[in-house]
């Protein structure tokens, strides 16, 4: 299923929720965010009310 998903990204200033294109990556995969690698540690429903998108939670590697 293609479309959009959310990225829950840790930043020194706090967490940030971003929209991304395409299918959500699987748990354990690595993605590039702001020229840094991050690992997918969790895939869950969006934390936003009535939002059908999937949310991908990331951890810096």
The 3-state secondary structure of the chain reads CCCEEEEEEEECCEEEEEEEECCCCCCCCEEEECCEEEEEEEEEECCCCCCCCEEEEEEEC
Q: Domain span at residue 48?
A: 4-60
Stronger pLDDT, 13 or 19, i.e. the higher one:
19
Over the stretch 20-59, which tens digit does the pLDDT of each residue have? Answer: 999 999 999 999 998 999 999 999 999 999 999 999 999 9
Distance CA 10, CA 60 (A): 8
Number of domains in the chain: 1
Query: Would the pLDDT of 1 be above 60?
Result: no
| Residue 2 pLDDT grade (very low, low, confident, very high; cuts 50, 70, 90) | low
């Amino acid at each position: 299923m293609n479309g959009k998903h959310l990225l829950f990204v840790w930043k020194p200033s706090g967490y940030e929720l971003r929209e991304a294109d395409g299918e959500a990556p699987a748990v354990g995969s690595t993605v590039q965010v702001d020229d840094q690698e991050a690992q997918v540690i969790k895939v869950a429903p969006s934390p936003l009310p009535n939002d059908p998108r999937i949310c991908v939670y990331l951890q810096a590697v």
